[in-house]
Amino acid sequence: MSHSLTLLSDEEREMQEAFRSFSESEILPIRLQMDQDAKLNSDLLPKLFEMGIMGIECPEEYGGTGANFFTACLAVEELARVDASVSVLVDVQNTLVMNAMIKWANDDLKKKYLPKLAQEWVGAYALSESSSGSDAFALKLKATDKGDHYVLNGNKLWITNANEAELFICFANINPEDGYKGITAFIVEKSFEGFSVGKKEDKLGIRASSTCELRFDQCVVPKENVLGTVGKGYKVAIETLNEGRIGIGAQMLGIAQGAYEAALTYTQEREQFGKPISKFQGVQFQLAEMRTQLEASRLMVYNAARLKDLDKPFIKEAAMAKLYSSRVAEKIASMTVDLFGGNGFTKEYPVEKFFRDAKIGQIYEGTSNMQLQTIAKMELT
């Protein structure tokens, strides 16, 4: 099914088709099993790297694809159309981890880590803690300067990709009395002394995506593994998350697209009162509403991604795209379950998974209330 082709160049359309083909051939056959097992299929990771999906914005000199942010969002959208769990793995890798490394790492760190992230290592982004969700800078992970290294002590919660990751961008405070001005970003390898991955959460949706606790018990981090500048971690976090929200918008767009396509097909096949239910005006109006909201969501997400690539202001547009697309994904997925009737409530059909997966969009990488706050603040200043 074609959609919004006029929004894409020929090259972008080719990339979109490649991402879609990969999703349908490699992910669709194992989607249900991964959801039931609440675990990513280990055979899938090498294929994602081979496809170049894990290093889309990474420069070619470091083994990456060398494409732009918009292309990364296309990948996230097309993966989410089939499975939002795989989509968020790729989203975190590209729009958070890779993005932060490209923008903030010095040349030595880039040479050391970018080729690994582009070709073999999964990355994770560790900001959240039990006491710092929306209040992200109330974090308590403590970093102590020990001369030639730092020692980190504390915990992180709800860290996406934690089970698969070999590299973690972790935010800790070196001077808690200075508040956010003490926050510093560190690159932590899974093998570092004193670091471990803890409990995996049992989630409602995106179940194959690992979400875990991280433990830092006298974790030793070399001085050279500071990302950016000491005491400027808040800037790394804010700017990266602003871009990451567009990625989540793309994920929600993909969920909505997948659910809508399922509804469109099913309503033309399911018969009641002697004809397909798509022949009833009530159903036609629901499909029309879904399509209109889907298209509005796509325009907002694509616009925000284009602005980012053009180095134009995009923070408000990113917040609006995430806010709206997450609402649309939940609404379209819910309407699709309704249109499937009793079948929609069973795991025999894929639409209940779209419904479960959509809910997280209004929670992670900034709740809907936080997006509203950002939009209002920027409108009133």
Of 123 and 1, the structure prediction assigns the larger pLDDT to: 123
- CA nearest to 16, candidates 62, 49, 50, 56: 56
Say if residue 243 is in the same domain as residue 370.
yes
CA distances from 345 to 37, 139, 269, 308, 336 (A): 19, 40, 18, 39, 10
Say if residue 116 is in the same domain as residue 146.
no
- Whether 354 contacts 262, CB under 8 Å: yes
- pLDDT tens profile 296-308: 999 999 999 999 9
Calpha distance 76→350 (Å, rounded) = 19
pLDDT of residue 4 exceeding 60, the answer is no
Calpha distance 11→94 (Å, rounded) = 20
pLDDT of residue 246 exceeding 60, the answer is yes
The single residue of 261, 289, 365, 379 carrying the catalytic annotation is: 365
- Domain extent, residue 218, equals 124-231
Calpha distance 138→207 (Å, rounded) = 28
- pLDDT tens profile 132-158: 888 888 899 999 999 999 999 999 999
Residue 99 in tokens: 């993005």
Say if residue 285 is in the same domain as residue 227.
no
- Whether 123 contacts 98, CB under 8 Å: yes
Say if residue 10 is in the same domain as residue 79.
yes
- pLDDT tens profile 18-54: 999 999 999 999 999 999 999 999 999 999 999 999 9
**Is-catalytic flag, 365?**
yes
Task: Tell me how many domains the chain contains.
Answer: 3
pTM for the whole structure: 0.96
Pairing relationship of beta strands 122-126 and 275-276 according to DSSP bridges? unpaired
Question: Where does the pLDDT of residue 354 fall: very low under 50, low under 70, confident under 90, or very high at 90 and above?
Answer: very high
Identify the pLDDT of residue 238.
93
Say if residue 375 is in the same domain as residue 240.
yes
CATH number (domain holding residue 221): 2.40.110.10
Last residue of a domain, one of 122, 144, 172: 122
Question: Where does the pLDDT of residue 235 fall: very low under 50, low under 70, confident under 90, or very high at 90 and above?
Answer: very high
pLDDT of residue 211 exceeding 60, the answer is yes
Identify the pLDDT of residue 137.
82
